[in-house]
Structure 1
């Protein structure tokens, strides 16, 4: 894939989606119309919002997936420094012990993928930072907090309240934070593309689906509009893409996937071959 085509696809599609979301949702009342279908005007509640099991399963327990991924990447990054420090070539007994206990393969794997661990940690941190910045600098209140649905705060559009250099207020609803947690799994897609993994497309679709599911559950509870989920996905994708380009380079990410499985050769093994 040529560089121009790569950039056109990976930047052009999300930017086109951003324009479409802006025109379809932010320039119309489609968000409000959809949330109206979920709101009970008699009780002045979103019925699903009161369901404790739904809240536990879709909001609290669901955090396990991105949280454990980030923690696993951080542990992998820490372990990646262990194998070189152990210097098993100068300590044959220690090396033999690690091999017998099956610790050595784990440490070699961690060391060989140090850049990937670091990329995941940085990408997750940057995605979280971008979403928090946008939340603080737009000060959009969630539907359930506004006067439209029994709350006390006024409904405002993010673009009419945006302040670049300072916080715009106390609202923290745009873009969708819970949805962005699912979308941050897109970082794994770029790792898969770096290694030309044949199932990289499956990782991409699963990450997008996870973010959409996370975001939609919050829409059903009245804590977000549907467009908040789409905006979260767009910003997370662009953040992960820019981070991946900085870590791996466009030429590496644009390589075609391998359709046959190849056994990886770790640095320690390559040096003794």
Structure 2
């Protein structure tokens, strides 16, 4: 009787180990949908007139020279703008290769989510009419700023600066959440929180250089998490439907 019980227990655990691409609960998605709506409204309110963006970025602007003194800072450019981005890219590539070599679909999906998160922000950024701070007349440039949802002025400048592409690299590591949830929830939330902290830090470094506003960085994180949730949900749903056929 005991032997039979142990065998049944082993047979029950085996499919769970094999089925790495686990679906998340409807409750999980519902909670995050509410959170995304809440923070989306909050970010819209914070960027309603651009005053907060101007104040925070203006702190790093020198009105005497009409320049951002940290724009070409070698250390800020090397560590924040290059090295950290390369670390994120290397993390995604190594996870992808390891997943392919070990045939771990779960690892492959998470690695792809890291890339897709930044890609989505890159597409939005490439089609945006919002210019970077250093292009605006308030900071020595020639372009005119406008509220996030306001009418685009004729002289809006080169654009292509919203959301924050560099910050999205750090935020993209939020995908590591799916690597550990639900087997190790503490580690999952630690990765998620760490990715948010990294994205904000990388984004703030760009604010110091005059490359982005706070709202650019906040919306980068919002879009990255939305895209990662949608893709993970769709892929796991399709995979589980295929297993049942």
Structure 2 segments unaligned to the other structure (5+ residues): 1-23, 241-245
The number of residues matched between the two structures is 212
- Alignment-derived partner of residue 159 in structure 1: 149
User: In the alignment, is residue 124 of structure 1 matched against residue 114 of structure 2?
Assistant: yes
Paired residue for 1:37, among 59, 75, 83? 59
Change (3 A) 1:27 1:151: closer
Displacement of 1:151 = 1.4
Displacement of 1:248 = 3.1
Matches within 5 A, 1:99-114: 110-111=102-103, 113=104
Change (3 A) 1:28 1:48: closer
Displacement of 1:4 = 5.3
User: In the alignment, is residue 54 of structure 1 matched against residue 76 of structure 2?
Assistant: yes
User: In the alignment, is residue 237 of structure 1 matched against residue 191 of structure 2?
Assistant: no
- RMSD over aligned CA atoms reads 2.4
State how far apart, in whole Å, the 2-side matches of 1:201 and 1:29 are. Answer: 33
Which range moves more in the overlay, 237-246 or 174-183?
Answer: 237-246
| TM-score when normalising by structure 1 | 0.70
Q: Is the 8 A contact 1:144 1:223 kept in 2?
A: yes
State how far apart, in whole Å, the 2-side matches of 1:38 and 1:234 are. Answer: 25
Q: Per the alignment, in what secondary structure is the counterpart of residue 47 of structure 1?
A: coil
State how far apart, in whole Å, the 2-side matches of 1:74 and 1:177 are. Answer: 22
Paired residue for 1:21, among 43, 57, 65? 43
Q: Per the alignment, in what secondary structure is the counterpart of residue 50 of structure 1?
A: coil
Q: Per the alignment, in what secondary structure is the counterpart of residue 198 of structure 2?
A: helix
State how far apart, in whole Å, the 2-side matches of 1:6 and 1:120 are. Answer: 18
Displacement of 1:27 = 3.5
Q: Is the 8 A contact 1:194 1:248 kept in 2?
A: no
| TM-score when normalising by structure 2 | 0.78
Structure 1 segments unaligned to the other structure (5+ residues): 80-109, 163-167, 253-273
